[in-house]
Structure 1
Amino acid sequence: MKIRASFFSADFSLLCLSSFLFFSSFNMIIPELPEYLTSLGGEDYKGLIIALFTLSAGLSRPFSGKLADKIGRIPVMMFGASVCFVVGMLYPLLSFVGGFLFLRFAHGFSTGFTPTGASAYVADIVPYQKRGEAMGMFSLFGSMGMAAGPAIGGWLATFFSIQTVFYVSAFTAIFSILILLKLKETLPNKERISWKMFQLKRDEIIEKRVLVPSMILFLCCFSFGVVLTIIPDFSTHLGIENKGLFFGVFTLSSLGIRLLAGKTSDRYGRIPVMRAASATLVCAMVLIAFAESKFALLGSGVLFGCAVGMYSPTTAAWVIDLSLDKFRGRALATMYIALEAGIGIGALTSGFLFANNADNFRLVFLTSAGFAGLAFILLLFVKRENRIAETA
């Protein structure tokens, strides 16, 4: 594939727009889910809201990575977005605890597929010298979706029913799919899908070349799982009516820094940026732990967003650097497995530690600060980045 000086193209722009809608879709409902589950009588299962979602996403990653390398990036992306639509339509119908938890598990297959295919697609169409910047731009649109989704969902829930939020979430996914139909496939030698592709060999599950950045991402994403699970209740505890406000603040704060972090990692390396990100994350989680007012929490959210905005695109670029072209989907799937594991374990751990007791908020957030601190310590021992993929 010919190397271009710039990564901007019609396909890249369309993919960014589709990503915005996709992330808006499944994030739209997140702030309202703890209260909704409580209304169904499942207040003791709040930790499973995110954990089940990330479990299925993690389980599906090896399959989505293999399929992205075999049948193409676009079919993998379209399957994930279709799951968002179907599950969104089913939430109002399965309005009991067991049905809700089943749908949370099924919903995770959406992020198990679409981001894997999308990241591989971006890596296919951008020159390696621009990977950090391109991943920063691409993730910026996903972050805007993550900001817009909870804000819109919170607004809809204030004036309408939770069922309305579910339906709007579902139809947002439809628009994401329609945009994907206009993209050109980038996989040069596509294969017909077959049952054999769903039979995974041991070496097809994890790409060993990207274990180091994946482990760092796991430790950082533990805090993300904590935030997704505990912040809605913590917001209520501090008297914040819109439980999606913190999500909007931290996501918006991550937008501008993504491009800066991506460019900086292209110029100075991935590891220095990751060290700064993990140190910032430690500070953010400690400040959240000691927040006692709305403004203190939202101020901490700005710092949290800066950390996320630094480590997200930088890790993706680092993984692509270390991966072979023919196993790019598998490498990105490995990264996302670590991401989902971090979020899922963070969600489960925080739900267990919190136990619906406001006295435990500080313990939960300080625990997540410890995980981020471990990531920083490990990064001090990583000396080389070993770029091996020098073509787009």
Structure 2
Amino acid sequence: MKVFWTLEPQSRRNLLILFTAGLLFWSSMASLLPTLPLYVESVGGTTQQIGVVMGSFAIGLILCRSWLGRLADRRSRKLVVLIGAVVAAIAPLGYLVVNSIPLLMVLRAFHGISIAAFTTGYSALVVDLAPVSKRGEIIGYMSLVTPIGIAMGPAIGGYLQAGAGYTPLFLAASGLGILGLICATLVKEPGITKETLASQVSAGSENPAQFWKLLASPRLRTPAIVLLLIGLSFGALSTFVPLYIKAIKVDLNPGLFYTAAAIASFISRIIVGRASDLYGRGIFITGSIFCYAIAMLILSFADTPSSFLLGGFLEGAGSGTLMPMIIALISDRSTAQERGKVFALCITGFDVGIAIAGPVLGSVAEPLGYRGMFIITTALSFLALIVFATSSSKNIPHSLRFAIGREKDVYALNK
């Protein structure tokens, strides 16, 4: 944490306020993780319908990511953060009055806009405020809002749902979103040079189709594919673990699964950010994907509280390393003028994975059961490992060396 005291006072203040806003935002989001699938089930949803409703969250993500990414580049990172916080404050109130499956799908899609906006603006702001030489370390520390929020949120949500019902739960989720919005308004965005502003104004008429052409770039294609495959696994975890635990009658509060994941994620983010500035991003991305794959394998055979907690811990270690390292990697591979849309493009892969996971894996869970579903996510995670190890650099030998920390990133721009 000493790195923050080396920053200018204004940058340090902005990062601390932004951290608080992120913590409140993720606590709001995570408070619904163990409870919303059960709410959908309580209003008559089948396993597949639960998957469709939860997966609808990613529809808002996918539809808005590209526009929000361009908005962050052309107008303001802070504006995009504020859009995310506003939606996070409003959407939970909708669950108070909506109890039909079609309307829940629409509401979840609207709620998804919050993630698309907040994560894109937040990541771009953090990178703008971080010195290049300390980028990985600061991204790692600032990304702690996710595991801390995911540790606090499910505990808050599970306690409120069990003790007081769904109405206090949804009001609390909204309240956390409002507090996050208040904090976000206090952030002062770093100045943008006149040259950068001029370039963005001239790009204002950019053809949206060009946004998707970035996907063909070798510097971005592999991170996007990896996030797509891991997004499928994460979508299965966030949607079906509470139902899986309930179905096989394991005596475990589902919120504790997410708490175990959050603890591991917290630990890994503290360690790997600074280390990646010294040893490169590749070896840590490889390790994170491997942790994901082993976690999925354990969950496919889990039948005790300890096995679920171990799976959650390993998944948390994987996600706590993967997301900040991918953000650092694509930050290294992009300029400030394009960073918003580059973040949006690559993280859209993760969004698509989540969107597909709900309905597709939900339909798989019907005939094959939850164990069969997690065997499939195990295979997808190992496929992500193979993709990264063989195509993260200019050729297979280079990629293998980069993936084990023996080669520098040939696509890094250092800007």
What's the counterpart of residue 286 of structure 1? 297
Paired amino acid for 1:234: Y
Which residue does 2:136 correspond to in 1? 132
C-alpha RMSD over aligned residues: 2.2
Aligned to 1:258: 269
SS at match of 2:34: helix
**Alignment partner for residue 34 of structure 2, among 31, 35, 57?**
31
Find out whether 1:367 has 2:405 as its counterpart: no
Using the TM superposition, name which of 318-327 and 208-217 deviates more.
208-217
* Structure 1 residues 163 and 205, CA gap change in structure 2 (3 angstroms): farther
Deviations, residues 27-83 of structure 1 (Å, cap 9, x unaligned)? 211211122112222224111233110121122110110000111011110011101
After TM superposition, give the deviation of residue 100 of structure 1 in Å. Answer: 1.5
Matched residue, 1:109: 113
Any idea what SS the aligned residue of 2:99 has?
coil
2:173: which partner in 1?
A: 169
Amino acid at match of 2:211: E
Residue in structure 1 matched with residue 389 of structure 2 by the alignment = 380
Once the two structures are overlaid, the 10-residue window that deviates more, 281-290 or 7-16, is 7-16
> In structure 2, do the counterparts of structure 1 residues 186 and 346 end up closer, same or farther at CA, with 3 Å as the change threshold?
same
Q: Does 1:13 align with 2:24?
A: no
- Distance (whole Å) between structure 2 residues aligned to residue 343 and residue 187 of structure 1: 35
Q: Aligned pair 1:223/2:233, yes or no?
A: yes
Is 1:389 aligned to residue 413 of structure 2?
yes
Cα distance per residue 1:317-348 (max 9 Å; x no partner):
00101012110101111122011112222233
For residue 54 of structure 1, give the secondary structure of its aligned residue in structure 2: helix
Please point out which of 64, 67, 70 is paired with 1:63.
67
- Paired amino acid for 1:220: I
Stretches (4+) displaced over 4 A: 4-8, 196-200
Residue 390 of structure 1 aligns to a residue whose secondary structure is: coil
CA–CA separation in structure 1 for the residues paired with 2:254 and 2:310: 15
Q: 2:190 aligns to what SS in structure 1? A: coil
SS of the aligned residue for 2:251 comes to: coil
Is 1:330 paired with 2:334? no
Match for residue 93 of structure 1 among 90, 97, 100: 97
Distance in 2 (alpha carbons) for counterparts of 1:187 and 1:234: 49
Matched with 2:242 is 232
**C-alpha distance in 1, partners of 2:83/2:58?**
17
SS at match of 1:21: helix
Contact 1:24 1:148 (8 Å CA) reproduced: yes
Q: Distance in 2 between matches of 1:138 and 1:249?
A: 20
Percent identity of equivalent pairs: 27
Conserved? CA contact 1:49–1:229, under 8 Å: no
Match of 1:340 among 342, 348, 351: 351
* Aligned position for 1:159: 163
Asked if 2 retains the 8 angstrom alpha-carbon contact of 1:83 and 1:110, the reply is yes
Show CA shifts across 1:266-294 (max 9, x none): 11111111111111211111111111111
Amino acid at match of 2:230: C
Q: Describe how 1:295-334 pairs up with structure 2 within 5 A.
A: 295-334=306-345
The more displaced of 32-41 and 69-78 is 32-41
Aligned partner letter, 1:204: F
203, 219, 222: which one aligns with 1:212: 222
Partner Cα distance (2:176, 2:78) in 1 = 18
| Deviations 1:109-165, CA, capped at 9 Å, x for gaps | 001111100100001010112121111111111221122111110011110111111
Equivalent pair of 2:25/2:85 in contact (CA under 8 Å): yes
Secondary structure of residue in 2 paired with 1:380 = helix
TM normalised by structure 2 equals 0.87
TM-score (norm 1): 0.92
Change in 2 beyond 3 A, CA 1:338/1:361: same
Distance in 2 separating the partners of 1:85 and 1:199: 31
Distance 1:118 1:304 in 2: 23
Q: Which residue of 2 aligns with 1:273?
A: 284
How much has 1:187 moved relative to structure 2? 5.3
| Aligned-pair CA distance for 1:241 | 5.2
Matched residue SS, 1:95: coil
Amino acid at match of 2:283: P
Unaligned runs of 5+ in 2: 393-398, 403-408
**Count of paired positions:** 384
**Alignment correspondent of 2:79:** 75
Q: Tell me what 1:186 maps to.
A: 190
Q: Does 1:84 align with 2:93?
A: no
2:208 corresponds, among 194, 201, 206, to 201
Contact 2:81 2:119 (C-alpha < 8 Å) held by counterparts: yes
CA separation in 1, counterparts of 2:191 and 2:254? 41
Kindly indicate whether the alpha-carbon contact (under 8 Å) linking 2:333 and 2:414 is maintained by their aligned counterparts in 1: no
